[in-house]
Amino acid sequence: MRLYLGGYGHHPSGKMYSYWGNDNYRTGQNVVAPVTNKRTGRTYNTMFTIMRTSGGDGQVADNEAQRLSQSGIGIKYIHGTDVLGKLPSGKRFESKSQWAKDSEARYNSELESRIFSRGSINSNNQAMQRILGG
């Protein structure tokens, strides 16, 4: 068992987060890690890039575990290396251009659903009717 420190995404920067994991992960490796949203309490998987490792039985790991437990934070466990299989948007692409097209289509679809959602159209229609006196 080892303590892994790293960040979220492909190129993490800033704050480092702590996770427990097996001995077979290495620095720079992308793995799947659970994250809990503070506001909603919902836990979901995200990609985690390992930036530093420490033996689980060493002083560094003990100090980190004690520091976090004093704040009421438990250290979670890494869920594995199957980033494409365990993440909701995990998907393989033949080329970078195929990824760009898929990404653009998803973005446009989400944008349209926000702009043209049934609730906002109805509220806009009601507001227009009030303005026009109808």
Q: Yes or no: say if 50 and 18 are a contact pair by the CB < 8 Å rule.
A: no
- State the pairing for strand pair 76-77/17-21: parallel
Kindly report the backbone phi and psi dihedral angles of residue 98, in degrees, each rounded to the nearest multiple of 5, phi listed first.
-65, -40
What would the pLDDT profile of 25-74 be if each residue is shown by its tens digit?
Answer: 888 888 999 998 889 989 988 899 999 888 867 777 788 888 888 877 77
Kindly report the backbone phi and psi dihedral angles of residue 60, in degrees, each rounded to the nearest multiple of 5, phi listed first.
-60, -45
Give the SS3 label for residue 9. Answer: coil
Cα–Cα distance, 1 to 46 (Å, whole number): 21
pLDDT for the residue numbered 49: 92
pLDDT for the residue numbered 51: 92
pLDDT for the residue numbered 48: 92
pLDDT mean over 112-120: 69
In the structure, what pLDDT confidence band is assigned to residue 103 with cuts at 50, 70 and 90? confident
Query: Given a cut of 60, is residue 120 above it in pLDDT?
Result: no
pTM of the model: 0.60
Domain boundaries, the chain: 2-86, 96-132
The mean pLDDT value of the chain amounts to 80
Cα–Cα distance, 12 to 7 (Å, whole number): 5
